[in-house]
Every structure is written in C-alpha cells, then in structure tokens.
Amino acid sequence: MFSSASPTVAAPTLAGPMPMAMATPRTDAHFNQRASQQIVDTLKLLNEVLAPQRRVIHAGEPIYQGGERFANLYILNSGFVKIVGLSADGREQVVGLKFRGDWLGFDGIADAQYACDAIAMDTGEVWTIRYDALLAACAREPMLLTVLHGAMSREIGRDRDSLMSVCTLPADARVAEFLRYWADSLARCGLRTDQIMLRMTRAEIGNYLGMTLETVSRALSRLARCKLIAFAEKGRREISIPDVGGLADFVQASLVPAMLQ
C-alpha cells in the first residue's frame, strides 16, 4: 500500500482548506529531486549574497556549544551534524540531526546564546553566517528572508514529527522511522539511499529515540530478519535498505494491533 502520492507537490491550485494533513515526509523520487535542487539553489544564493566564511569540521568537533554567545547561524554544506540538548539537571540527549543544506543555530536567537551543542559526526564543511549580516542582506534581498523563514518553519515541523514518533510509535517502528528519515534526508541531499552509513552508535540512536541501546540493536536485528534492511558484510554501522517504502509500511503496520495480513 503506497502512501497516497500526488504527482505535483506544494502546488496549491485549490484555495480552500483541505482536511487531509501529511506530516510524514514524502519519499518519491521527483519530490526529492526537487528538494535536492532547492538545496543547491539556496546554497548558491547564500554564497553569492553573503560570501560566507567556510570552515572544515571533523567528527566530534563542535560547531557551537550550549551557553556560547549567539552571533552566527551556520549552514551545513557537507557532512552530518547532531544537535545535543543539555538540561539544567544534567540530562543529555540528541535532539536533532542535520544534513547538507540545513541551518544550524536557530535555537540561539531568542536568548542570545545557543541552547544546544552542535557536533559534527564526520568530516564536513559549514558556512558561517553572521546573524546581523544576514539580517542586513535580507533587507536588500527579500528572497533570503523567505529562505530563512522556510528553514526555521521546516525545523519546527521536523521537531514536531520527532515528538510524534517518540510518543506514538513502539520501539521497532521508531527505529524503522528513524532509518526512513535518515534515508529520506540523504535522498534530499542527492546522496544514495540504498546503502547508508549510520554515523551514530546504537547508544546515540537510542538516546535520540528515547530507548536503550539494546532495544535499538534488537530492533535492527528484527528489521534485518524481516529483510527490510541488511547489514554490510563487515561492520554493522553500514546498512542497506532495499526499499525505503517498506520501512514506511512497517511503521504503518505496527499501528494496527490486529494485523490484517
């Protein structure tokens, strides 16, 4: 059963309210190709208008840290970044993942200091954008403001999707959804999605998904047993996903107590 796909996306020819919501991201190729192009266009625009400073980052290095004074936003040009929240009482959790084209640092605007750590998960490049310079540029180039607000809006939406996953899905489905999201994010970056390299340990994945590392491991084993994923010969960090849609179906199926198959 396919997730009701429509040929064109975000082309609101109809003005009236449309009762159907679609929180779960699309996975079809056309959509991702468009998204990929959008990312490239955005990066190009930012590059031209702001000529941002480029910075190479390596796995484990922070782009910014909680408490640090806010001055810059960042755009990830390549690599993968985790956002780690730290509560006053010492709890620590991965609260977000960032891919190519994603913005970093929005959390810092409100209180003039970052509220989280942003930490590279492998080698990559971030572009540093001074917030005040960005605002100035937005005045000259309104398109930039559109892009900025779009990115913030998307982050809000994405965070809510995370919350829904954690609150409404059982552990196995949460892991499946996580893999689907990761593959989808790669696709939007224009990267291959059949063979993916998880840049996180089971412990980190579990922390992100609100479960223990053992549960993550068991869930992955189960998914492999169902042939929804397969591990590489060597190294269990690399996973192949024959059909990303299958993961979405698995999530769906886990919601039906009495499976109709």
Partner DNA sequence: CGCCACTTTGAATTAGCTCAAATTCCGTGG
Partner DNA sequence: CCACGGAATTTGAGCTAATTCAAAGTGGCG
- Residues lying near DNA in the complex (CB under 7 A) are found at 170-172, 201-203, 210-218, 220-221, 231, 234-237
Out of 37, 150, 197, 242, which residue is the one contacting a second copy (CB under 8 A)?
Answer: 150
For residue 134, the minimal CB distance to a second copy (Å) is 10
For residue 129, the minimal CB distance to a second copy (Å) is 14
* 107 or 172: CB nearest a second copy: 107
CA atoms of 37 and 31, how far apart (whole Å): 10
* 33 or 221: CB nearest DNA: 221
The reply on whether position 257 binds a second copy by CB under 8 A is no
Phi, psi at residue 217, to the nearest 5°? -60, -45
For residue 108, the minimal CB distance to a second copy (Å) is 7
CA atoms of 176 and 85, how far apart (whole Å): 23
Distances (CA, A) of 64 to 71, 82, 101, 190: 10, 11, 17, 26
CA atoms of 21 and 115, how far apart (whole Å): 31
The reply on whether position 153 binds a second copy by CB under 8 A is yes
- State the residue for tokens 């929804």: 228
- Per CB under 8 A, the segment of 33-41, 84-92, 188-196, 234-242 that binds a second copy is 84-92
The β-bridge partners of 64 are 118
By CB under 8 A, how many residues form the interface with a second copy? 74
* 192 or 236: CB nearest DNA: 236
The reply on whether position 69 binds a second copy by CB under 8 A is yes
203 binds, among DNA, a second copy, none (CB under 5 to 8 A by kind): DNA
3-32 residues near a second copy, rule: CB under 8 A:
3-4, 9-10, 12, 14-24
Query: From its phi and psi, is residue 65 left (phi > 0), alpha (psi between -120 and 50) or beta?
Result: beta
CA atoms of 242 and 95, how far apart (whole Å): 28
- Per CB under 8 A, the segment of 192-200, 207-215, 217-225, 229-237 that binds a second copy is 207-215
Output the CA torsion sign for 22, 28, 30, 34: positive
* 6 or 221: CB nearest DNA: 221
- Per CB under 8 A, the segment of 41-49, 132-140, 191-199, 232-240 that binds a second copy is 132-140
Tell me, what amino acid is at 25?
Answer: P
Q: Which two tokens stand for residue 247?
A: 């993961």
Query: Which of 208, 47, 196, 204 minimizes the C-alpha distance to 125?
Result: 47
54 binds, among a second copy, DNA, none (CB under 5 to 8 A by kind): none
Query: Which of 150, 180, 157, 196 minimizes the C-alpha distance to 252?
Result: 180
Out of 87, 233, 257, 258, which residue is the one contacting a second copy (CB under 8 A)?
Answer: 87
For residue 89, what is the DSSP state? T
